[in-house]
Amino acid sequence: MPRYFFDVKDGHRLFDASGFVCEDDTDAMIRASVLAIGVSLDSPEDDPERRVAIINDAGREIGNVPVYSRPSYRNPAK
């Protein structure tokens, strides 16, 4: 099975040195979506440029998933 790498991009780039083994490109996209949720929880500030890039084992970016900011829950009565 091929290995995919998931780099976080947002003006600066965080490289994934180890990657994950995935069945195919679709499986890699699903994993990237899960990683994007984790990134949004760790870094909740809003950044429309932030995304998780999916890199195949040939070093080619095959897609990316946006990282959305964590929603804020504000009590409107306050």
**Residue pLDDT, tens place only, 26-76:** 999 999 999 988 888 877 676 777 899 999 999 999 999 998 875 555 555
Residue type, 43: S
- pLDDT value of position 58: 94
pTM value is: 0.77
| Exposure string for 9-19, b = 16+ CB within 10 A, e = fewer | bbeeeeebeeb
- pLDDT value of position 2: 93
Q: Decide if pLDDT at 15 tops 70.
A: yes
- pLDDT value of position 3: 94
Strand 20-21 with 13-14, pairing: unpaired
CB 53 within 8 A of CB 6: yes
